Amino acid sequence: MVEFIMKIYDISMSIHRQMPVYKGREHKRPIITNDSNFSNSTVYESRIEMNLHTGTHIDSPLHMIENGSNMDFLNLKDLIRNCKVLDFKRIEDKITAKDLQTKDIAPGDFVLLKTRNSFSDILETDFIYLDASGAIYLSNIGIEGVGIDALGIERDQAGHETHKTLMKADIIILEGLRLADVDEGTYFLFAAPLKIAGVEAAPVRALLLDKEV
Amino acid sequence: MVEFIMKIYDISMSIHRQMPVYKGREHKRPIITNDSNFSNSTVYESRIEMNLHTGTHIDSPLHMIENGSNMDFLNLKDLIRNCKVLDFKRIEDKITAKDLQTKDIAPGDFVLLKTRNSFSDILETDFIYLDASGAIYLSNIGIEGVGIDALGIERDQAGHETHKTLMKADIIILEGLRLADVDEGTYFLFAAPLKIAGVEAAPVRALLLDKEV
């Protein structure tokens, strides 16, 4: 079916109690508990409680837009497709329209923004983000999706303008990626989220596939 | 990268409060609540609490074997690969070694067992399962994985012999599939589970890919 020998890049965060969460907010830390084990049962079973924006996840418009569409309306084909990893790891604060102009971005693209978030301990604090000018630039091109190695695609912008600009343009937002091991280039993205009905976001095991070199 | 036009079969259960759960046990029903919405915040966020064996999921040996290996030890390449869907929808009770002998199953295969569970309202009660003789037959062949359209791969067998036989042979167990729309044949399986650290099981958005006809 898929004939080439694949290389698989796991670009997802590991989910556990001490993982980084958005701005270090305690209610975003997952709680993993034991339902049964071999001291009280014949089976070992665990349980998880988590905010749906924990770790690697996809946002739908309902997250930021009242009566926006929820995850049920995403098309799997838009999440299982080619994508472009763009390297912005030298950027110190935020990705702007001017930064994006240096890259080859075309209508219909799904772009993943690789920043120093993938290398530094800044995920809970002053993480690199896509600013409002960058979101407008990408929506004007007409991309279909954008991912970033931050737990939010923006921070500290009044009115969440990056999210809203992207959502109004029906651009899929994929957050919480880990891109340290992935060079700039084209890959096959696999980002089918957990199938939770009627919600505004869902966790995903995001992967990139490439031909084995 | 993947050059053909894909057809995607979503073989996952939808996760919601009223979904079928193993034997109808209340503690396996997911609890989805709202963390914030537009009446009290500028963002809408949900939270989920669920047993890790809810809906479509993968079991690791730790689920049934004390000190068995957990999900961290699964290799993604074993979950992103070709598989065979085998049609057993005429079976009325359980799949045995004798039933499996009618199918082409080879060493290294990942087989998905399609039964009337995918069509009937029996998931919480007398669902079709793989019996101990079938598990021994598959482990003797040397398959690498087995999936089924039931919330457990067995029921009502003393000592959970089906699980234990498969786990001792390092055969991956994928439960909670929905196979009504998939005919017998070969497909490309995508079953990378949520990356939860150190646990015995994890939910997965399982898909089959095929060439578009």
* Min Cα separation B99/chain A (Å): 27
Model's pTM, two decimal places? Answer: 0.95
The pLDDT value recorded for residue B211 is 78
Mean pLDDT of chain A: 95
Cα distances from A88 to residues A111, A133, A187, B211, in angstroms, run 12, 16, 17, 36
Rg (CA), chain B: 18
At which residue do the structure tokens 């497709």 appear? A81
- Contact, B53 vs A45, CB < 8 A? yes
Of A49, A64, A195, the CB nearest to B205: A195
Beta bridge partners of B173: B59, B146
User: Pairing mode, if any, of strands B57-59 and B31-36?
Assistant: unpaired
Dihedral sign (CA B54, B56, B58, B64): positive
Nearest-Cα distance to chain B for A98, in Å, is 28
Distance from CA of B208 to the nearest CA of A (A): 11
| Residue count of chain A | 213
How many Cβ pairs closer than 8 A exist between chain A and B? 166
Which residue of chain B comes nearest to A190, CA vs CA?
Answer: B190
pLDDT grade, residue A193 (50/70/90)? very high
3-class secondary structure, A116:
helix
Bridge partners of B130, per DSSP, are B95
Nearest to B187 among A1, A188, A195 (CB): A1
Q: Is the dihedral of CA A61, A66, A71, A73 positive or negative?
A: negative
In whole angstroms, give the CA distance from residue B63 to residue A175: 31
Confidence of residue A1 (pLDDT cuts 50, 70, 90): very low
Phi, psi of A141 (to 5 degrees): -65, -35
Alpha carbon distances (Å) from B80 to A104, A158, A182, B42, B74: 30, 42, 19, 39, 12
**Looking at residue B213, what is its pLDDT?**
58
- Per the DSSP assignment, residues forming a β-bridge with A77 are none
Phi-psi region at A108: left, alpha or beta (left = phi > 0; alpha = psi -120 to 50): left
CA distances from B118 to A22, A44, A72, B51, B179 (A): 39, 27, 21, 22, 6
Residue type, A155: R
Question: CA-to-CA distance for B64 and B59, rounded, in angstroms?
Answer: 9
| pLDDT < 50 regions, chain B | 1
Q: Is B156 left (phi over 0), alpha (psi -120 to 50) or beta?
A: left
Q: CB of A52 within 8 A of CB of B47?
A: yes
Q: How far apart are CA A193 and CA B54, in angstroms?
A: 15
Contact A125, A96 (CB under 8 A): no
- Among A72, A188, A205, the residue to mutate for chain B (most B Cβ within 10 A): A205
Rg of chain A over CA atoms, in angstroms?
18
Phi, psi of A36 (to 5 degrees): -160, 155
Q: Say whether B200 and A46 touch across the interface (CB within 8 A).
A: yes
pLDDT, one tens digit per residue, over A99-114 is 999 999 999 999 999 9
Identity of the residue in A45, A55, A187 whose CB atom sits nearest the CB atom of B51: A45
Q: Which residues in chain B have their CB less than 8 angstroms from residue A63's CB?
A: 43-45
CA distances from B71 to A122, B30, B147 (A): 28, 21, 16
ipTM computed for the complex: 0.95
pLDDT value at residue B1: 45
Q: Are B58 and B71 contacting, i.e. CB atoms less than 8 angstroms apart?
A: yes
> Hey, are the CB atoms on A1 and B211 less than 8 Å from each other?
yes
What pLDDT, on the 0 to 100 scale, is given for residue B180?
Answer: 98
Query: What was the pLDDT predicted at A6?
Result: 83
Eight-class DSSP state of B193: B
Task: Find, among A167, A95, A107, the residue nearest to A133 by Cα.
Answer: A95
pLDDT, tens digit, 9 for 90 and up, residues B170-207: 999 999 999 999 999 999 999 999 999 999 999 999 99
Percent of chain A with pLDDT over 70: 97
Q: Do A76 and B203 touch (CB under 8 A)?
A: no
Using the beta-carbon criterion (under 8 Å), do A35 and B27 form an inter-chain contact? yes
3-state helix, strand, coil in chain A (%, to 5): 20, 30, 50
CB contact under 8 A, B47 and A45: no
Nearest in space to B13 (alpha carbons), one of B187, B174, B189: B174
Pick the closest to residue B59 from B188, B201, B160 (CA basis): B201
